[in-house]
Structure 1
């Protein structure tokens, strides 16, 4: 039974690496097949003379009573979490029953643990212990019910021994994929602060990845959308231009090449596109940057002060000039004399080593703050 069950279990077991939400269903299968009351997988790291739980995976019964379980069992009074002279060194793989591996000095603590487990309707577990790394370990615990209707025996031990290499491998895959997902989420958030959406396309135009800003652009646009994993244009001529743009970038021989275009008429919020080839190990693909008139940042006087060493009044003037105001318009709007504004402008030129207003507009307009979106955007 054990071998055939493991063979049936393994596809779902390894699938949990990329679908972590399935762990509970898989542990429920183990619980029901082995007729125990609870199945839990834990990862611990060594912290001084204790094992500290890093994470836990539970079957549905354990999940339902998770708060009580953590309060009564996963605490400093649990002798299994102590690392001292009473505990034998952990083997690479070991199946442990009762207080096996501990000296007599822990017996009273194990009796107290039994009493707390009984409050949860559970008895002492049989445990699979795996050395995961130099300072961490994995455990799978099979708890029978404490009413005597269930017991653990050699059948359970054989199951745990056979499952051990698969548990270690699946957890390793699960952690690596989780780390990659966390990295992906972090990079996506960073890219979302740029004043452009980013899409990664395959050589044939299929969309492999979009950041949040790209999705915003597509949701706003009447000219470009995402459908069935591909970018779709409302106008056939735009569709041809987009296809040519992507094809040109996909066939580009240098990652430094740039191909630009736009979707939609210039008077109706077009989506501007910049395509560059990406020479990935898996084959050529295209990084497509998308922007519309909504993806822009307001210049902040406080940030201009910090970047260029201007006074707040000078920063406000510099921003107004970058936004198209004239000296006279700015003076009138602020209710100050034109001469005062010209003195401020002369001070700005002196501090920044500039001579002409277009140079100021170009400098401030190309600052890092104009290339990124504020967190309130």
Structure 2
């Protein structure tokens, strides 16, 4: 069984099989490996032989909150590898009066639990447990001894996978460092695990980016919201089926003509992982805005042009004909003429020469 858990740690695939073996060895209904965050979040919860709706209800009903769940409260308070069964921390009065026990565990037929804390790291507590049905009854001394004997081996396996996941962030960072690129490697919660030297140069009091409690943030309010949304979407894409989450965020500092373009990309993951493997990659590049780009941006801001109208107006000002613009943009000439007419109206002019003069003032 120790080999089964260690194999699971190395390939990230066999956790359910190993947990099923643990449940069988202790005469229990289900085996569980759970991660608990400081904010009552449940980053992962691997359970065998359980209705999937149980896991959804567990998270939704505050199962990760020690103020609500007495089992979580006991586990996070106990020393690492101290094995507890519910009679160790639940009195007869607790059994009668505890709302979580009566409203959640009893309806799901998991009235008895034996648990231990395996690891505490980065505000995450990783716990091991077996859940027992009414038919299983409370765990016996012999079964508890089996659980106690196996728990240190499971802890070694957990630490092995955590080490591999953390190493992944460092290796990825070094790969981008060799390319002299701006790159941030984030975990499933969007926290930066590693960054290249080029990325470090952008983080600071006067830089366009900041680190706040490990989270990558942009300096401006709107930029910060856009970046946070992109990172959250990429991280969430790991858990929710769908197309790979990738997006581009352009940060435009007020004092600099350069724009920082950030590509936020979702990274592939293992079937079963903890919270430390790289999940999101943020790659940046500095972009020097050209005179044409600056003029288009100003035309949009000053005269309320759309991006298409601004591009047409600036190209006309640069001496291109509607036919040439249509060829470049692969649209009909009539479309270009209509956009030009709207742009001139918004700029308050009637002739193209007046439009050129108006844009030159920008």
Q: Which has the larger radius of gyration?
A: 1
Q: Normalising by structure 1, what TM-score?
A: 0.46
Query: Could you state the TM-score of these two structures normalised by the residue count of structure 2?
Result: 0.48
